[in-house]
Chain A
Amino acid sequence: SQTIHQWPATLVQPVGSPLSLECTVEGTSNPNLYWYRQAAGRGLQLLFYSVGIGQISSEVPQNLSASRPQDRQFILSSKKLLLSDSGFYLCAWSPVLTGGAGEQYFGPGTRLTVT
Chain B
Amino acid sequence: AQRVTQPEKLLSVFKGAPVELKCNYSYSGSPELFWYVQYSRQRLQLLLRHISRESIKGFTADLNKGETSFHLKKPFAQEEDSAMYYCALLSGGYQKVTFGIGTKLQVIP
Contact = CB atoms under 8 A, between A and B. Distances in A.
Interface of A: 32, 34, 36, 41-44, 46, 49, 51, 57, 59, 90, 92, 98-109
B86 to A, nearest CB: 7
Interface stretch (B12-20, B43-51, B68-76): B43-51
Interface centre among B46, B95, B99, B102, by most A CB within 10 Å?
Answer: B95
B97 A104 contact: yes
B99 A44 contact: yes
B44 A49 contact: no
A48 to B, nearest CB: 10
Contacts of A57: 95-96
A106 B98 CA distance: 15
Interface of B: 6, 9, 32, 34, 36, 43-46, 49, 51, 86, 88, 90, 92, 94-102
Given A44-B86, A102-B90, A49 B96 contact: yes
Contact of B101 (A34, A42, A98): A42
A32 B96 CA distance: 9
Contact of A43 (B49, B95, B101): B101
A102 B34 CA distance: 7
B44 A90 contact: yes
Contacts of B97: 46, 101-102, 104
Given A42-B101, A44-B99, A103 B49 contact: yes
Contacts of B44: 44, 90, 92, 106
Contact of B49 (A32, A90, A98, A102): A102
Given A43-B99, A100-B94, 20 more contacts: A42-B101, A44-B99, A44-B102, A46-B96, A46-B97, A46-B99, A49-B96, A51-B95, A92-B44, A99-B32, A99-B51, A101-B95, A102-B34, A102-B88, A102-B90, A102-B97, A104-B46, A106-B44, A106-B45, A109-B43
Contact of B96 (A34, A42, A103, A105): A34
Nearest to A36: B99
Contacts of A101: 90, 92, 94-97
